[in-house]
Amino acid sequence: MTHKLSVSRLARALVLGCFVVLLLSPTLSAQDKKAPPGTSPTKQSPPAFQDLELQVLQHRAIEAVIWGMPAVNRDLMYQAMLRETKAKENQMLYWSRLLDWKNQTLTPNTDVIYLTPYFDTKEVGPVVMEIPPADGGAIVGTIMDAWQTPLEDVGPAGADQGKGGKYLILPPGHTTKAPDGYIVLPSSTYKGYALLRSIRKSGSNEDLAKAVEYGKRIKIYPLSKADNPPLTTYVDAASVLYDATIPYDIRFFESLNRVIQHEPWLERDRVVIDTLRSLGIVKGKPFAPDAKMVQALNAAAKQAHNYLDGKYSDLTKGPFAPGSRWCFPERMGLVFKAAQEQFADPNFYPVEDRGLLLSFIFFLPKRLGEGQFYLLGMVDNEGKPLDGSKTYRLNVPANAPVRQYWSATLYDRDTHALIREMSHAARSSQSPGLQVNADGSVDLYFGPTAPTGKESNWTPTDPNSEFEILFRFYGPLPSLFDKTWGLPDVEPVK
């Protein structure tokens, strides 16, 4: 009797449950109601979930921009080489004169001769890069992998200590013992590049020509041809518009996809594989986002730009010296240190600060402070952004702490590239005709027009935009770091 009652109650419960389901199902689509027998109707995602899904996707895309910035930064420069010149991998791209505004890379130096060989070991195997001894000039620079992680510095502040040397770049997983006589650089990626600068002894045309010729003593070739090295092909980019500024739109993800397709996954980045898959970036598959995905990625890239720009503005809160508006934030120094160690610390991986740093510069040195050092200026002595419509003065005290030279270079605040259409972008201790005060100091001027009689000490600005300044110290001396020599703030000219 008990058993029959239980069955009866169960039957009534099932009937009631079915009734409730039918009662609560008026929102089923016509397609769902007409589902063929034996199949389950397709459940539509509620609007709230669709909104949440879009938010998650855009958040992942923002994180992908921050994480992928170093590799995209380098790929954009490489793409500019392919697009604007006839140079190829394992050749030498160089500028036969000082840079002008047509070099639209991130905060470049306009007082040196640039040489940027892009290498790829995937097909040719280990690659040799020969740096000449510092007997008639000096090369300052760094060899980096595809993520701009420094493999080694070169020249007087590098592994060869100015004696010259053969740097051997090994592809990922290379196990064959390297021959004797090489400075061996195992790389975790196939592609990479070197940022090399040939330093002038003075601002004269003669020394400029010597710096170019000295730089062209650098060689690059496959190790397989080391017994009879082919001549290095040099391609001059001095006359082209070399635009490698960061595009905060779908092009960023197209660049990131190129990197993912060519390079092996690094163990430290495996967690990103699934994140990128949700954005349509999958190793071995084409990146073909539909219109809806393109719209979402464009929006996310713009948000990433806004976020990074806000973090960038915060850098002024990390002064290099007490009371100074010039900054070299401590956390940026931590990125340099982590990169120098190949991010070996399992408890420290500064992805966000790395992304921020590589959104406004384009290399990471192995030994920061030995070959060069930088101070960033974004505001005047009152903490106000540097306005291109105003005129400013910077007094550089005598006895600047450098073995080689100092310079002050101006950049567009928004792009971090040289200000377009300007006649020149910097003044330095090597600038011809630079006026020096009686006490040995130098007054530099920045503004839309030159103060009367100060043309040789003036750098032009765009009156329609804000700007920033990088003050460089080449061959920095201890008085810079112990703060016994200080750089005053930029002051508006009343």
Whether 65 has a pLDDT exceeding 50, the answer reads: yes
Provide the pLDDT for residue 23.
Answer: 34
Provide the pLDDT for residue 494.
Answer: 85
Mean pLDDT of 81-94: 96
Angle made by CA atoms 392, 398, 400, in degrees to the nearest 5: 90
DSSP string, 255-316: HHHHHHHHSPPPGGGTTHHHHHHHTT--TTS-----HHHHHHHHHHHHHHHHHHHHHHHGGG
**What sign results for the dihedral spanned by CA atoms 245, 250, 251, 253?**
positive
Place of tokens 């005290």: 397
Question: What's the CA gap between 259 and 264, in Å, rounded?
Answer: 9
**What sign results for the dihedral spanned by CA atoms 144, 146, 147, 148?**
positive
DSSP-assigned beta bridge partners for residue 167: 129, 183
37: pLDDT confidence band, cut at 50, 70 and 90? Answer: very low
Place of tokens 């190129």: 258
Averaged confidence pLDDT in the chain: 91
Question: What's the CA gap between 281 and 254, in Å, rounded?
Answer: 9
Provide the pLDDT for residue 430.
Answer: 94
- pLDDT tens, residue by residue, 310-338: 999 988 778 899 999 999 877 788 899 99
Among candidates 193, 42, 211, 246, which has minimal Cα distance to 111? Answer: 211
Whether 25 has a pLDDT exceeding 90, the answer reads: no
- pLDDT tens, residue by residue, 214-239: 999 999 999 999 999 999 999 999 99
DSSP label of 158: S
Provide the pLDDT for residue 20.
Answer: 36
pTM flag (> 0.75): yes
Q: Pick the residue with more confidence: 367 or 442?
A: 442
Q: Do 151 and 366 contact (CB within 8 A), yes or no?
A: yes
Whether 161 has a pLDDT exceeding 70, the answer reads: yes
Tokens encoding 299 = 């929006």
Question: What's the CA gap between 125 and 224, in Å, rounded?
Answer: 8
Q: Pick the residue with more confidence: 37 or 433?
A: 433
Least confident residue range of 13-17, 34-38, 351-355, 458-462: 13-17
Question: What's the CA gap between 55 and 296, in Å, rounded?
Answer: 9
How far the first Cα of the chain sits from its last, in Å, is 104
Q: Do 316 and 360 contact (CB within 8 A), yes or no?
A: no
Contacts of residue 195, Cβ cutoff 8 Å, sequence gap at least 6: 114, 116, 141, 142, 144, 362, 363
Which residue type does 137 have? G
Mean pLDDT of 170-184: 97
For the chain, the maximum distance between any two Cα atoms, rounded to a whole number of angstroms, is: 116
Provide the pLDDT for residue 43.
Answer: 59
Q: Do 73 and 247 contact (CB within 8 A), yes or no?
A: no
Region of 357 (left: φ > 0; alpha: ψ -120 to 50; beta: rest) is: alpha
45: pLDDT confidence band, cut at 50, 70 and 90? Answer: low
Tokens encoding 438 = 């009686």
Which residue type does 98 have? L
Question: What's the CA gap between 78 and 193, in Å, rounded?
Answer: 9
Burial class (CB in 10 A: 0-12, 13-18, 19+), 238: middle
DSSP string, 55-103: HHHHHHHHHHHHHHHHHHHHHHHHHHHHHHSS--TTEEEE-SS---TTE
Mean pLDDT of 443-467: 98
Provide the pLDDT for residue 178.
Answer: 95
Provide the pLDDT for residue 42.
Answer: 55
The rounded radius of gyration (Å) of the Cα atoms in the chain is 28
Provide the pLDDT for residue 136.
Answer: 84
Strands 458-460 and 442-447: parallel
Place of tokens 């713009």: 302
Q: Do 165 and 131 contact (CB within 8 A), yes or no?
A: yes
13: pLDDT confidence band, cut at 50, 70 and 90? Answer: very low
Contacts of residue 336, Cβ cutoff 8 Å, sequence gap at least 6: 364, 365, 368
Whether 35 has a pLDDT exceeding 70, the answer reads: no
Mean pLDDT of 54-77: 97
